[in-house]
Amino acid sequence: MIRKMEKEYAGAKLGIWLFLFTEILLFGGLFLLYATYLSSYPREFAIAGREMHLGFGTANTILLITSSLFAAMSVTAVQQGEIRKVLNLLGATIICAMIFLVNKYFEWSSEIGHGFYPDSPRFSAGPIGEALFFSLYYLTTGLHGFHVLAGVGLLTVVALKVRRGAIHAGDYVLLENSALYWHLVDLIWIFIFPLYYLVL
């Protein structure tokens, strides 16, 4: 019986790592396009990159890294059986994620308001590379934002399970795996942030 539990724990960990690989490959396609189009249109990318709001980007980076810290701490807390603390930390993670999304909303609105979007009148006149930059930017951050949203849902379910006692010091692999997923969402942002906000 103990052996079976061990197998399940190790199996669940193996499974989530494989899943995380598939997520990296999913975003990999977009990063690949970024690399090729950057090399085709370096000047246009640089001009378009200057339109990014560094403030929003930095704030969101700090938010996500902090939330990742909370998620990691919640795993330690559940191992020590401190359920109250787990719930608080998960709540803090979720709140950070929501602020991230709200920020994203304002950032996108301001950019769209300035006429930076695919097919916009501004781009149909201008040099062609800049529109590509923005298309990639919306697709990549959009897909990432969707993952943040999914993470909020996932962490909420996990928090409910912790409260119901279904996740506890003896069996917390779902919490641990959700935290791993959350770190991945963070990690992908760590690549998006410099590529779109800093290097250009």
Partner 1 sequence: MNSSNHPTLPLTSFWNDTGKCGVSAWVFSTDHKRIGLLYLYSVLISFLVAVLIGLLLKIELMAPGRTIMGPVTYNALFTVHGVLMIFLFIIPGFPGVFGNLVMPIQIGASDVAFPRLNLLSWWLYITGALTIVLSLFTGGGPPDTGWTFYVPFSVRTGTNVSLAVIGVFIVGFSSILTGINFVTTIHRLRADGMAWGRLPLFVWSIYATAWIQILATPVLGITLLLVVAERLLGTGLFDPSRGGDPIMFQHLFWIYSHPAVYIMILPGMGIVSEIFPVFARKPIFGYKMIAFSSLAIAGAGSLVWAHHMFTSGISDMAVLVFSFLTFVVAIPSAIKVFNWVSTLYKGSISLEAPMLFALSFIMLFSIGGLTGLVQGAAATNIHIHDTQFVVGHFHYVIFGGAGFAFFSAMHYWLPKFFGRTYSEKPAMISWGLMFAGFNLTYFPMIILGMKGMPRRYYDYLPEFAPLNLISTIGSWILAAGLAIMMINLFMGLLKGRPFGSNPWGGATLEWTTPSPPPTENFDEEPVVTHGPYDFNRAGVP
**Residue ranges binding partner 1 (CB under 8 A):** 7, 10-11, 14-15, 18-19, 21-23, 25-30, 32-33, 36-37, 40-41, 44, 118-119, 128-129, 131-132, 135-136, 138-139, 143
Q: Are 140 and 34 in contact (CB under 8 A)?
A: yes
Our CB check for partner 1 shows the closer of 33 and 92 to be: 33
CA-based nearest residue to 65, from 193, 199, 186: 186
- In angstroms, rounded to a whole number, what is the distance separating the alpha carbons of residues 89 and 143? 25
- In angstroms, rounded to a whole number, what is the distance separating the alpha carbons of residues 73 and 16? 19
Whole-number minimum distance, CB 20 to partner 1, in Å? Answer: 10
Our CB check for partner 1 shows the closer of 106 and 146 to be: 146
Our CB check for partner 1 shows the closer of 23 and 51 to be: 23
**Non-local CB neighbours of 33 within 8 Å, separated by 6+ positions:** 136
CA-based nearest residue to 53, from 108, 129, 118, 3: 108
Q: Which two tokens stand for residue 158?
A: 């996990």
Whole-number minimum distance, CB 105 to partner 1, in Å? Answer: 18
Q: Which residues pair with 168 in a beta bridge?
A: 171
Our CB check for partner 1 shows the closer of 3 and 84 to be: 3
- In angstroms, rounded to a whole number, what is the distance separating the alpha carbons of residues 193 and 171? 35
Whole-number minimum distance, CB 131 to partner 1, in Å? Answer: 6
Whole-number minimum distance, CB 42 to partner 1, in Å? Answer: 13
Our CB check for partner 1 shows the closer of 6 and 169 to be: 6
Whole-number minimum distance, CB 132 to partner 1, in Å? Answer: 5
